[in-house]
A and B are shown apart, each in its own frame.
Chain A
Amino acid sequence: MTHLTPATFSELVKDPAAHPELLAHLAQGCEVCDAFLAAHVDAFDGPVDALLLSLAPRDAVRDDVAWARFRRRFLRPAVQRRWAMLGAVAAALAVAVGVGWWWRAPVDETGVKGAVKATLELQAAVRVEGGRFEALAPAARVDAGGVLVFRAQSNVDGVGRIFLQRGDGPPKEVGAVRVRAGLHELERDEGLLGVDLSGEAGRVTVWVVASAAPVTAAEALSALQSGGTSDVAVARIEVLVEP
């Protein structure tokens, strides 16, 4: 029995009527030919998926956070692609973290011994022109070309939702990071979290809302506005960006 191969499939496509036996064989169902089509004829994949997924229609979902996140990435890429994991600089950052020269000593603990309240502290450093890192004082002035990286001290093992606030504007969620108990750099799968300040101007505040159990965006925002809860820790870094 002839099965689909690159050669037989090409012949079949060129002139289906000239290969009635192969077409009939295909129509009857054959695992070998199905495997060939599944693995090597990609042009039908999209239409097949669209058809299958249309069996259970899904309504459009308005999601301001998801759209804002995507919009930053797609619609204004030159100015707004700041929350990318900066792979090119990740290695350099990792070296810097390993050396630890730019981190100040951990600040004093804020968690109350024996208490279960979630705690989180943030430190930030900025990567400046030339690849150097400078630790940031509170409300530090930084150049718009800088990239912020963060170190956290927490008693939470979970997720940190990241919010960005410009001036007195509303905080907008822009991503998420892993948060671990202890002292650690904030990172995602791709590497360290880096916030590119290019295009920013004025007061910029980065908020991290950490919790062991997932919380919704609304709950995270509520915790941010109230300064945290027993289960949700909130910390922020504020900088003044100079163009």
Chain B
Amino acid sequence: MDDIARQVDGARKGDEAAYRALYERFRPVVVRLLEAFTALDADDREDIVQETFTRAFRALPRLKAAAAFPGWLLAIARNRALTASELKGNRQRTRQDFAAELPETAVESLVPDSLRAELDEAVVRQLIDALPEGSEKDTVRLFYVDGTLSTREIGERLGVGKSTITMRLERFRARVKRELVVRVLRTRGGVP
């Protein structure tokens, strides 16, 4: 059992030290995720961090595989951030409308408990390397690989606005997601 699984297991039993270990380990990751949501200010992000961990910890008994905790936690954070961004921007929430058309069980059954077998860091680095040299590749490298600059700082360095940085990151993220879906489907269908 690795560290995460051990901490999740401890938290499920109500061990406060395990809760704290998970909180301190993944809070920086959640904060980094939220930095890509430019509609949110610092107060919004802090509120979402608190809400994310509260929801995640209360729902821990429903988490099937402890190893899936990081992705599960980040999915909660992303969902909360999207909702907050949409409310703040007074935009229509079309995601839920459309998602209602999809048979949920079919999609969920597609996702294994842990996707490490289908896609690892090396594959993502290959996807980054395959990007044409230019501003999009620089953006992805600075945000995800270097990982220290905020979207505003990256925008300043590259001479574009925060929203442009967000758009580039989302475009790359969509490629990674597509690659993951394709690999899972091929594995599932036995398609080379």
Contact = CB atoms under 8 A, between A and B. Distances in A.
B39 interface: no
Q: From A13, A41, A61, name the one whose CB has the most chain B CB atoms within 10 angstroms.
A: A13
A168 interface: no
A52 B140 CA distance: 10
A51 B181 contact: no
Given A40-B98, A60-B21, A46 B107 contact: no
Interface SS, A side: helix
Interface residues of B, number: 70
A50 B177 contact: no
A67 B23 contact: yes
A56 B144 contact: yes
Interface stretch (A25-33, A101-109, A122-130): A25-33
Interface in A30-67: 33-35, 37-56, 58-63, 66-67
Interface string B130-167: 00000000000000111110000000000000000000
Interface string B73-103: 1111011000000000000001100110111
A192 to B, nearest CB: 15
Contacts of B23: 66-67, 70
A45 B75 CA distance: 6
B29 A27 contact: no
Given A67-B23, A67-B24, A40 B102 contact: yes
A6 interface: yes
Nearest to A15: B189
A14 B106 contact: yes
A42 B177 contact: no
A54 B145 CA distance: 9
Interface stretch (A16-24, A87-95, A146-154, A201-209): A16-24
Interface of B: 16, 19-21, 23-25, 27-29, 32-33, 43-44, 50, 53-54, 57-58, 68, 70-76, 78-79, 94-95, 98-99, 101-103, 106-111, 115, 119-121, 124-125, 144-148, 170-171, 173-178, 180-182, 185-186, 188-191
Interface of A: 6, 9-10, 12-18, 20, 23, 26-27, 29, 33-35, 37-56, 58-63, 66-67, 69-71, 73-75, 176, 188-189
Nearest 8 CB-CB pairings of A with B: A56-B147, A16-B189, A46-B75, A46-B71, A17-B189, A58-B28, A47-B71, A49-B74
23 contacts: A6-B98, A9-B107, A10-B106, A16-B191, A17-B191, A23-B189, A38-B170, A38-B173, A39-B94, A42-B95, A42-B99, A44-B180, A46-B73, A46-B75, A47-B111, A49-B33, A51-B176, A52-B144, A53-B33, A58-B29, A67-B24, A71-B20, A74-B53
